[in-house]
Amino acid sequence: METVETDLLILGAGGAGLCAALHAADRAPGLSTTVVVKGLLGRAGCTRMVQGGYNAVLTPPDSLEAHFLDTLRGGGWINDQELVWTLVTEAPRRVLELEARYGCFFDRTHDGKIHQKPFAGQSHDRTIHKGDLTGIEIMNRLTEQVWARPSIRALEEYRAVELLQDEAGRVGGALLLDMRRGAFVLARSRATLLAMGGGPTMYRVVACSADKAADGIALAYRAGAPLKDMEMVQFHPTGLVIPNSLMTGALLEEGLRGAGGRLLNGKGERFMARYDPERLERSTRDLVSRAAFTEVQEERGTANGGVWIDVSHLGAKFVEENFRGMVKRCRDFGKDLAREPVEVGPTAHFMMGGVVIDPECRTALEGLFAAGEDAGGVHGANRLGGNGVGDSTVFGGIAGDVMAEWVAGRALLSVSAAGAEEAAKRLTAPLAASGPPPYPLLARLRSLMWERVGLIRDGTGLQAALVEIEEIEARVGAVAVPGGPEYNLAWQDWLNLLSMTTAARLIARSSLERTESRGSHYRRDFPESDPRWLVSVLVQAKDGEVGVRTEPVRFGRARPDSQPPRMAAVEIGD
């Protein structure tokens, strides 16, 4: 088996992975950094798909305290408060770094200041953006910077399929698959970062990048790392409804609601007044998604099982100037967003849960770090729109800095080549097997997750889901894929299915454990939030089963019943 050695191994190349690589390269240019990406550098992943923007406090009357509290309230108060504080205090610095150091350029006001627009669930207009295509601006500039640094190399169309560990459980790299050649590569490293993005693609309707499969979640779980808040899966309320199209679920960004967009049911009623009469459409994503789902369930939806978003009253000129990307996306399907209502519905969007980390992105496994959607704790029970790309770039940069210092003086670990060979043998089994294709199982998993572990859950459905997920997992091993290993898309889909079923089991098991409703987790059999559940649900592999425990939230800076929160002074800079 081919072997490569590198100081830092970064698995994933979205905002978290690229910021980590850049920070590490600038902190310690003598170190070698290898970035592994399932697609093409700068073109794959979810950061590029970010439409709305980036939350950061820049000017009064907004404040770090307000951003902190908005994030905690949105997250149902189960967030890790130290991680949230790190996010809100570092986000302004990272925005300035993105512009001044990496070349991003965000929209301006008439007097030249960075423009900040309103987003749902926030007390101030703090969302920085580049039109409604913010992610493209960030990823293009970060990618340019990565190519300009000789200490960084990219392995494009490679995927990590197993973490490499020594006898003590320390992580010393990963087993990679070169998807073009169909060949496995043993990548040995002094430090490894999981930045692969979660991506709830195990649901029937999704908004995230199609290359996502919760790979990082599955890798961490199999390696023995604890994960938290896996029951918290965010559904975005305004995914396009395009009958008989894979584009169903593609997002219309939250800024449409922030600007005054209205949601109407199939009868033309502005239904959010029933669910949040104060904030209406600017309520949090979890509540708006559940409201739209309820309207459809109670037979007040559209003929295609959706609702309408209407921004035409804002004026066609305003919409076309401020939401060019969304207008074009709708026109591709014969819809005129600027002049007529467009059909939308909830779509699986983001995983708040992930690997347990500390504020320096360390996991419980020595040598393994995590950042972005692979890490849990920042967003609690529900992520605010605009906090996602902030999470990725803030903690990605921190991880790069920390890893660059951490590897000093550390040798490569002695990891088991025989274990890697055994994993490769197991993962290539479908290529030589005779059996059914993976796609019926994939469709079954997605329907199951949507219907029983989706927007509205109950104990009976969750227990049935766990039984069926285990049955799907058992049958995955009997799947066959045609053709050889070179660029075999069916084989890649089978590998995706392995990760999806692992993540699905963790989501369903954690959902069964939390017997209350909080944020994105709604139990019809426990419809109220319970203060006794101000805890995180943690899952970890234990004797081949999912070990589950709870851990009380630490209210180190603020409590739900305390005003004002205890805050430290922070200097943001010019």
Whether the predicted pLDDT of 573 surpasses 70:
no
Closest alpha carbon to 392 in 124, 117, 90: 90
- Mean local confidence (pLDDT), 333-337: 93
Distance CA 211, CA 214 (A): 10
Q: Which residues pair with 342 in a beta bridge?
A: 309
Q: What are phi and psi of 521, to 5 degrees?
A: -95, 110
Closest alpha carbon to 263 in 239, 278, 280, 240: 280
Contact 301, 265 (CB under 8 A): yes
Contact 262, 313 (CB under 8 A): yes
Whether the predicted pLDDT of 569 surpasses 80:
no
Closest alpha carbon to 252 in 195, 330, 170, 196: 330
Cα–Cα distances (Å) from 187 to 9, 35, 152, 174, in that order, read: 8, 11, 15, 5
Whether the predicted pLDDT of 572 surpasses 70:
no
Whether the predicted pLDDT of 484 surpasses 60:
yes
Give the confidence band of 209 by pLDDT, cuts at 50, 70, 90: confident
Catalytic residue of the set 129, 188, 236, 379:
236
CB atoms within 10 A of CB 168: 8
Whether the predicted pLDDT of 246 surpasses 90:
no
- Mean local confidence (pLDDT), 341-353: 95
For 396-431, write each residue's pLDDT tens digit: 999 999 999 999 999 999 998 888 999 999 999 999
Closest alpha carbon to 216 in 250, 156, 171: 171
Domains of the chain: 238-346 (3.90.700.10), 419-552 (1.20.58.100)
Distance CA 128, CA 191 (A): 33
Strands of the sheet with 375-376, listed across from one edge: 375-376, 354-356, 227-228, 535-542, 545-552
- Segment holding 322, helix H or strand E: helix 316-322
Long-range contacts, stretch 269-274, CB < 8 angstroms, 24+ apart: 269/300, 271/295, 271/300, 271/307
Supply the DSSP string of 158-170, one letter for each residue: EEEEEEEE-TTS-
Give the confidence band of 129 by pLDDT, cuts at 50, 70, 90: very high
For 88-121, write each residue's pLDDT tens digit: 999 999 999 999 999 999 999 999 999 999 887 8
For 253-269, write each residue's pLDDT tens digit: 888 998 899 999 999 99
Closest alpha carbon to 80 in 574, 442, 558: 558
For 22-52, write each residue's pLDDT tens digit: 999 999 999 999 999 999 998 888 888 787 7
Strands, E assignment, 138-182: 152-156, 158-165, 171-178
Average pLDDT score, the chain: 93
In angstroms, how far is the first alpha carbon of the chain from the final one? Answer: 51
Catalytic residue of the set 23, 204, 257, 282:
257
Whether the predicted pLDDT of 566 surpasses 70:
no
pLDDT value of position 564? 53
Give the confidence band of 570 by pLDDT, cuts at 50, 70, 90: very low
Contact 380, 351 (CB under 8 A): no
Q: At what angle do helices 489-513 and 439-452 cross, to 10 degrees?
A: 20
- Mean local confidence (pLDDT), 526-552: 95
- Segment holding 500, helix H or strand E: helix 489-513
Distance CA 495, CA 486 (A): 14
Distance CA 422, CA 100 (A): 48
pLDDT value of position 562? 59
Closest alpha carbon to 272 in 255, 258, 254, 290: 290
Supply the DSSP string of 33-70, one letter for each residue: EEEEESS-TTTSSSGGG--S-EE---STT--HHHHHHH
For 71-93, write each residue's pLDDT tens digit: 999 999 999 999 999 999 999 99
Whether the predicted pLDDT of 511 surpasses 90:
yes
pLDDT value of position 49? 77
Could you confirm whether 110 is annotated as catalytic? Answer: no
- DSSP 8-state code for residue 566: P
pLDDT value of position 231? 98
Contact 157, 180 (CB under 8 A): yes
Q: What are phi and psi of 120, to 5 degrees?
A: -65, 145
Whether the predicted pLDDT of 444 surpasses 80:
yes
Could you confirm whether 257 is annotated as catalytic? Answer: yes
- DSSP 8-state code for residue 280: G
pLDDT value of position 296? 94
Closest alpha carbon to 350 in 238, 233, 464: 233
Give the confidence band of 552 by pLDDT, cuts at 50, 70, 90: very high
Farthest CA pair distance, the chain? 67
Of the chain, the percentage scoring pLDDT greater than 90 comes to 85
Residue with tokens 């609690």: 380
